[in-house]
Structure 1
Amino acid sequence: MKSRAFFKTLGPGILFASTAIGVSHLVQSTRAGAEFGFALVGFILAANLFKWPTFEFGSRYASATGRSLIDGYQLLHPGYLKMYLGINLLSMFFVNAAVTYVAAGFLQFLFGIEVPATYYYLPSLVLLAFTFFFLALGRYALLDAGIKVIGTFMLLSTLLAFFIALFNGPEKPLVIQPLAEIISPATLPFIIALMGWMPSAIDSSTWNSLWTTERIKHSGYRPTVKETVFEFNLGYWVSAALSICFVVLGAFLLYGTERVLPNNNVGFASGVVSLYAANLGAWTFPIIAAAGFTIMLGTCIGVMDGYARSTARAVAILRNKPESRRQYLFWIGLIGLGGFVTIRFFMTSFTELINLATIISFLIAPIIAFLNYRLVFSEHLSTSQRPGRITHVISLMGIGFLTLFSLGMGGYYLFY
């Protein structure tokens, strides 16, 4: 791809990566390494591989047709779009609450903000308000520019911490535990939650398609399908590689020691930053603290925009009316309010909130994967625009993989 075309296409892939590298990486991957060493790396790699076609299909479909996946669901059958909208409404408040609450912990720790326990929700409220005004004032143009800055800093700071940890070596000798000793009724919820958002919730594949069409409008350049897919894959596989970086950091710095990550947002942020700084050198403290907050801020912005943009589009199609700026503002406002209400009144535990959001995402994953598969192999795309044989096979394996895990998770909660 020529450099000029690449930079005109660049945006949606970075936005996806920045949104993905939040709870799934910083929280769940770090915990996986800290508690199980490298034993769960196979699950993480499998989630990244088998979810990849579903996410790639979002960018591919948008580039090939000029439409979002959401429009495609309506063309397949109006019932599919209504089902997708229901999924969005079911999950968006929990997901927004989860990422905001984690980000609030890093915000408090980074700036030394102390809040009485009674008003624990105030930092989250501040972040929700900031995210709302950021998106309301700038929409895609500011989102695109801001995420590129955030993504670059996030990537460099994470890689720096990773290579320093490799140079210093693990705190304790790493022993790979047999899976038979790890998988149990006590650990299965965490494994499922880990895979639910690895690298991101699969329903966010619609966001890729919306960001792709928006980037085309913003840049005035219509990339080829090959150019769009290349840009997305770059962001996707960078996020996949970083998920392993966080596992390594957790395994090298925590596994086998008596230290544990606290079960609250501020305690977790403090534990991660202090632990990394203590082992990587005091001079890395501001880098790690800023990186953690930056990662989560990018996730907050991407999640609120993605849910608002996708919900507004779905409602507009069902009402057979054009979208308006007012609708976008309404949905980012409602999502922010719903996230705050979830944190304020329904949050009983940091870990429980994260697990609930990720489990919901995993349950709906096979449905979205099937719909995206139907679209890219429909008559909407020409033969030359469709994925190759290898991607086709991985996508089918992915649908089976996600279905089996969802059924297994349902069986677990039914019998345990």
Structure 2
Amino acid sequence: MQLTTGRVKAMTYKDYTEKEPKSRGRDWSSSLKSLGPGLLFAGAAVGTSHIVQSTRAGAEYGLALLPVIILAIVLKYPAFWFGPFYVGTTGNSLIEGYQKTFGKPVVGLFILLQAPIMTMITAAMAITTAGIAGSIFSISLEASFIGTTLILACSLLTFFGGYKVIEKLNKFFIITLSLGTLTATALVLPNIQWSFSTSDTPLFFSLATFATIIAVTGLMPSDITLSINNSLWSAAKNKTQGRKRSVLEEKIDFNSGYIGTAVLAVCFLLMGSGLLHGQNVDLSGGAVGFASQVISIYSSLLGKWIGYLVALSMLAVMFTTLMAVLDGFPRILTASYFAITNSSGDDHETRSIDKSLPFFFILLSIATLASLVINFMMGEFITFMNFVMTLVFIASPILATLNHFTVNGKTVEKHKRPGRLMNYWSLLAIISLTLLSIGFFYVRLFL
């Protein structure tokens, strides 16, 4: 194992822009070849939020929560888009943007806020992946043991393989899962009761339902932290290509992944609604049991063997999702460490994240803490998932605010900043997420 201190000669913004495509036609042609971070975004997003929460929402409430899911995806778009937008505009990641816009103390507070959430999300991804693996292969081992083993395996692949390996694996498996999910959804459409009402207590006046809305919204389509991951993956893609991708290329790449996550979220909800809603199915509280119920949706529609193959692809996507977070989260914290320790006069970070000592130790720390969580703090699977998604939801308006003011801050030239519509859209999202967070605390504390 070779560890580097991280100091390398970095390409400057000028180096990148000199190699940037100059015509719109060349932009479109080259952007099709440079898809990667957007699909990696989809691979990281299509995890517990889709397989667990979307399916569960459809099973318990039919189509009643479909508008909530769609609204969450639409509202959060600017916050996620600002990640690759910032890279396309400045050549820097959002972490560097935070440091230059708000100062090093804000980056330090960001680490304190996000490190525990990152650990919890990693544990949630690992236990979900373990549940699917245990269901497919009828493994008698505890899900916590399987999850710990998966964390170890993904950590090794992440550190030694790096960005290129993750991107290649993810492209294949996310396409496989997408084809299987779209096919299954098409077959279940005749079974769906096309009603947006629910026979339970009034939807938005039920405390249990409000908690479910918070959980679903928190990770739909994903944690806003993924916008920072996306900016770092875009920066890594620039290095592999030897040039800085244009804003247009970044947008095509990002939209391909974002729209894909939205479609798949709706598909999982429709499958849960068509096959589980109104059937008096007692949803399992354990990871293996819940995964078995989700996989049975595919098997009942497509047949045993085809369902088995789709289940394998689902496992593969969860595996690459776990790889993505075990690369992305240490990458964020390493970039944050570099931003804090960077000389204040430097315009660009000159240290390489991949295989650096800080990246190794941070990856080791997250993997160890996540393993401890799934072995000693997991408890009831569904309860744990709600707890994780609630933490994510509370952090969402904070990260959305940081992203908004970073892309409109001093590091971005005025004529390159987002347009008025996108900024109003972003502010609406921040206000909405903040109000929902306040409402959540009010319900928890006073009702």
* Aligned position for 1:88: 114
1:401 aligns with 2:401: no
Q: 2:185, 2:271 within 8 Å by CA — same for their partners in 1?
A: yes
* Correspondence 1:302-313 to 2 at 5 A: 302-313=324-335
Aligned-residue offset at 1:216: 0.1
Q: What is the DSSP-based 3-state SS (H/G/I as helix, E as strand, rest coil) of the residue aligned with 1:378? A: coil
Q: Does 1:34 align with 2:59?
A: yes
Of the structure 1 ranges 139-148 and 14-23, higher mean CA displacement relative to structure 2 is found in: 139-148
Structure 1 runs (4+) greater than 6 angstroms displaced:
none
- Partners of 1:237 and 1:103 in 2: how far apart? 24
TM-score normalised to structure 2 length = 0.88
Pick from 203, 219, 232 the counterpart of residue 182 of structure 1.
203
Specify which of 129, 137, 153 is matched with residue 111 of structure 1: 137
Q: Tell me how far apart the structure 1 counterparts of residues 44 and 364 of structure 2 sit (CA, whole Å).
A: 19
Distance across 2 between alignment mates of 1:287 and 1:415: 48
What is the letter of the counterpart of residue 335 of structure 2?
R
Which residue in the other structure is 2:158 paired with? 135
Structure 2 Cα separation of the partners of residues 342 and 148 of structure 1: 30
Q: Matched residues in 2 for 1:287 and 1:401: separation?
A: 40
Aligned to 1:220: 242
Q: Find the residue that maps to 1:300 and give its secondary structure.
A: helix
- Aligned mates of 1:151, 1:275 — CA distance in 2: 19
User: 1:224-239 counterparts in 2 under 5 A?
Assistant: 224-239=246-261
Structure 2 distance, partners of 1:149, 1:113, is 26
- Contact 2:100-2:411 at 8 Å conserved across structures: no
CA contact under 8 A between 2:131 and 2:289: conserved in structure 1? yes
Matched, 1:296 2:296: no
Separation in 2, partners of 1:44, 1:165: 19
Q: Which moved more, 1:79-88 or 1:180-189?
A: 180-189
**Match in the other structure for 2:125:** 99
Residue 70 (1) aligns with residue 72 (2): no
Q: 1:124 is matched with which residue?
A: 147
CA distance in 2, matches of 1:70, 1:45: 28
Q: How far apart in 2 are the matches of 1:388 and 1:160?
A: 38
The one-letter code sitting in structure 1 at the alignment partner of 2:281 is R
SS in 1 for 2:202: helix
**What is the match of residue 371 of structure 2?**
340
Number of positions where the alignment pairs a residue of Structure 1 with one of Structure 2: 410
Deviations 1:55-103 (A, max 9, x none): 1001000111111111111112222211211122121111100111001
Is the contact between residue 253 and residue 279 of structure 1 (CA under 8 Å) also seen in structure 2? no
Return the letter of the residue paired with 1:265.
A
Q: 2:72 & 2:253 partners in 1: Cα distance? A: 20
Gaps of 5+ in 2: 1-24, 344-350
Counterpart of 1:246 in 2: which secondary structure? helix
Which residue of 1 is the match for residue 279 of structure 2?
Answer: 257
Greater mean deviation of Cα atoms: 189-198 or 70-79: 70-79
Checking the alignment, whether the CA contact within 8 Å between 1:88 and 1:307 is kept in structure 2 is: no
Once the two structures are superposed, the pairs formed by residues 155-174 of structure 1 within 5 Å of their partners are: 155-166=178-189, 169-170=190-191, 173-174=193-194
Matching residue of 1:378: 409
CA-CA distance at 1:51 after TM superposition: 0.7
Matched residues in 1 for 2:32 and 2:427: separation? 32
Following superposition, the deviation at residue 320 of structure 1 comes to 2.5
- Residue 174 of structure 1 contacts residue 255 of structure 1 at CA under 8 Å; is this kept in 2? no
- Superposition map of 1:1-12 within 5 A: 2=26, 4-12=29-37
> Deviations 1:251-304 (Å, cap 9, x if unpaired)?
111111122331111001111112331244334321331132123112211111
Note if contact 2:159-2:327 (Cα within 8 Å) is conserved in structure 1.
no
Q: How far apart in 1 are the matches of 2:379 and 2:145?
A: 16
User: Which residue of structure 1 lines up, in the alignment, with residue 221 of structure 2?
Assistant: 199
Which residue of 341, 353, 359 maps to 1:319? 341
Q: Which runs of 5+ in 1 are unaligned?
A: none
Q: Which residue of 2 is the match for residue 392 of structure 1? A: 423
Shift of 1:415: 1.9
Match of 2:390 among 348, 354, 359: 359
Contact 1:24 1:197 in 2 (8 A): yes
- Supply the distance in 2 between the matched residues of 1:272 and 1:386 (Cα, whole angstroms): 43
Amino acid of the structure 2 residue aligned with 1:122: F
For 1:10, what is the secondary structure of its paired residue? coil
Work out the CA distance in 2 between the residues paired with 1:392 and 1:110. Answer: 46
Q: Measured at CA, do residues 223 and 320 of structure 1 come closer, stay the same or move farther in structure 2, by a change above 3 Å?
A: closer
Shift of 1:155: 1.5
Cα distance in 2 for residues equivalent to 1:260 and 1:395: 39
How large is the RMSD of aligned CA atoms in angstroms?
1.7
User: Contact between 1:64 and 1:225, CA under 8 Å: does it hold in 2?
Assistant: yes
Q: Write the distance in 2 (CA, Å) between the matches of 1:129 and 1:248.
A: 34
Asked if the contact 2:187–2:301 (Cα under 8 Å) also holds between the matched residues in 1, the reply is no
Q: Distance in 2 between matches of 1:223 and 1:279?
A: 42
How big is the shift at 1:224? 1.1
